[in-house]
Amino acid sequence: MGQLHDLTALEQGEAVRTGRVSPVELTEHYLERIGRLDATVGAFITVTPDVARKQAADAESAASAARREGRELPPLHGVPVPVKDLSQVAGVRWTMGSAAMAGNVATVDDHVVTKLRDAGTILLGKTNTPEFGLPAHTENAVAPPARTPWDLGRSAGGSSGGAAAAVAAGLAPLAHASDGGGSIRIPASVCGLFGIKPSRGRVSPGPVLDDVTGLVTSGPLARTVADAAALLDVLAGPMPGDPYAAPALPPGETFTGHARRAPGRLRVAHITEAPVPGVELHPECRRAAEEAAGLLRELGHEVEELTIPGDEALGRAFTTVWEVLSTLVPVPPGGSEHLLPLTRHLRERGTRVTGTEFAAALYRMRGTGRLVAGALQAPGTGYDVLLSPTLARPPLPVGALRNDEDPEGEFAAMAGFTPFAPLYNATGQPAVSVPLHWTPEGLPVGIMLGGRYGDEATLISLSAQLEEARPWAGRRPAMW
């Protein structure tokens, strides 16, 4: 069997159900690895060994009772799943990556945490995130920077950089993450993982600090498509009062089931250029998408090249909404002096946005969503999937994006690093990053697949087909 962390999350869940592995044994294995390796990769802000051991003991008791009584358990029962520190876990420190909230303790569970508890998963801790999840790196004032295990001199990306570093380093089998402008897909690309940014409304954002813009959603990061699909099954589903709700799967179907189902022949649009003026694609990122297009053709899909013109108005609208979002985090009295320069810059600009300007920016994004939806579903000319590089560049060195002296320049550099990802947050469409390519230096480079609103199932089926054709989970960094 090798080591426990060699098993996929679903394999771990099966081992727990059959009694071959105890949740206590799994939890101790991961806590030991976190204690030994986390300082190197910066995956966690807060580790919760007491909570994890209590949950593991409870999960073992439940598994033993289920075996005696012949009852089924959820697929991820007894499997450790850390939570990104932008989300709340009652009784656990909740910093949002900010020194201004370093001593804060959450009093409620976010809905995603409630669902993780109900699924029987084990909380190892809260993963590293940049301040308020605003940048595309994970470098803050409360924890070491998150690094990709493939090259410890390079960033794990952001804002779910800690979650990705944990999974890629074998400190967790899979992880909860969130994405408001690429924050699941960016770390997935630079850490060699599969990540899903679900459709708007697929995962409930409540019950507090609800994102009024519809940009942000929780989702999974994992080593395999099936593991990510299983975690999406746990997280998915609306809650009372949610402002959005994605179309439900047909009765009896699951996302995990779609990871085992052929996608059929699909029509794919290969976006060949960055839709942000002035952004040049790194040759390895271009090569990754071109090779993916070739593989899709080999698998029988129809692939056409497509150029999306740069839309500066949409970029300005997204920036306006992002600035307003930054102001909505309730900073404690006196805490503003502890905020990083980029956060202060965005919040200051956000306070100057008028209600009319904010509404116009949201209107622009909603209009883009309708235009894209119409283009994808146009009879005879539409596409099932959009293909592009996930990022414009391979993993960057730690500190390459952060610029405390020029926060406006830092924000512009991030837009150039991740020109493809924010479109899907603006439109609400699902998108995934697939780890199909590695550079000659051994750095992972993801490709992105975007789908019709509400159609994560097709993306999961297609990604699983790509995974079967070009397996990646056996590739592991040296520190594994």
State phi, psi for 351 to the nearest 5 degrees: -70, -15
The pLDDT of 288-313, averaged and rounded, is 94
State residue 1's pLDDT score: 55
Q: 101: which 2 tokens?
A: 């909230």
State the pLDDT at residue 462: 98
Would you say residue 130 has pLDDT above 70?
A: yes
Specify whether 54 is catalytic: no
Window from 76-85, 194-203, 300-309 with minimum mean pLDDT: 300-309
* Mean pLDDT, the chain, whole residue set: 96
Please give the pLDDT value at position 212: 87
* Amino acid (one-letter) located at 114: T
Which range is least confidently modeled, 58-67, 257-266, 351-360, 380-389? 380-389
Catalytic choice (22, 87, 98, 159): 159
Note the pLDDT of residue 410: 98
The whole-number average pLDDT for the span 24-44 is: 98
The Cα 34–Cα 40 span in angstroms is 10
| C-alpha pair distances (Å), 405 with each of 98, 331, 342, 411 | 18, 22, 9, 12
Average pLDDT of 181-194? 98
β-sheet with 194-197: strand ranges across: 174-179, 217-222, 194-197, 431-438, 444-451, 385-389, 267-271, 302-306
Whole-number Å distance between alpha carbons of 102 and 104: 6
pLDDT at 310 over 70: yes
- Active-site hit among 22, 84, 160, 433: 84
Q: Which of the following is catalytic: 183, 199, 433, 461?
A: 183
State residue 154's pLDDT score.
Answer: 98
Q: Give every CB contact of residue 259 below 8 A, 6+ residues apart in sequence.
A: 225, 226, 229, 460, 461, 463, 464
pTM over 0.85: yes
**Mean pLDDT lowest for which of 290-299, 303-312, 456-465?**
303-312
* Residue 381 pLDDT class (50, 70, 90 cuts): confident
- Residue 388 a catalytic site member: no
Q: Does the pLDDT at position 128 exceed 60?
A: yes
Strand partners, 194: 222
To the query of whether residue 84 is one of the catalytic residues in this protein, the response is yes
Q: Which residues 6+ apart lie within 8 Å of 218 measured at CB?
A: 84, 87, 112, 176, 177, 178, 179, 198, 203, 205, 235
SS3 for the chain is CCCHHHCCHHHHHHHHHHCCCCHHHHHHHHHHHHHHHHHHHCCEEEECHHHHHHHHHHHHHHHHHHHHHCCCCCCCCCCECCEECCCCCCCCECCCCCHHHCCCECCCCCHHHHHHHHCCCECCEEECCCHHHCCCCCCCCCCCCCECCCCCCEECCCCCHHHHHHHHCCCCCEEEEEECCCCCHHHHHHHCCEEEECCCCCECCCCCCCCCCCCCEEEEEECCHHHHHHHHHHHEECCCCCCCCCCCCCCCCCHHHHCCCCCCCCEEEEECCCCCCCCCCCHHHHHHHHHHHHHHHHCCCEEEEECCCCCHHHHHHHHHHHHHHHHCCCCCCCCHHHCCHHHHHHHHHHHCCCHHHHHHHHHHHHHHHHHHHHHHHCCCCCCCEEEEECCCCCCCECCCCCCCCCHHHHHHHHHHHCCCCHHHHHHCCCEEEEEEEECCCCCEEEEEEEECCCCHHHHHHHHHHHHHHCCCCCCCCCCC
Confidence at residue 53, expressed as pLDDT on a 0 to 100 scale: 98
Residue 475 and residue 387: Cα distance in Å, rounded? 23
Over residues 135-172, the pLDDT tens digits come to: 999 999 999 999 999 999 999 999 999 999 999 999 99
> pLDDT band at 376, cuts 50/70/90?
confident
Six-digit token pair at 244?
């959005």
Contact predicate 144/433, CB 8 Å: no
Residues 6 or more apart in contact with residue 61 via CB below 8 angstroms: none
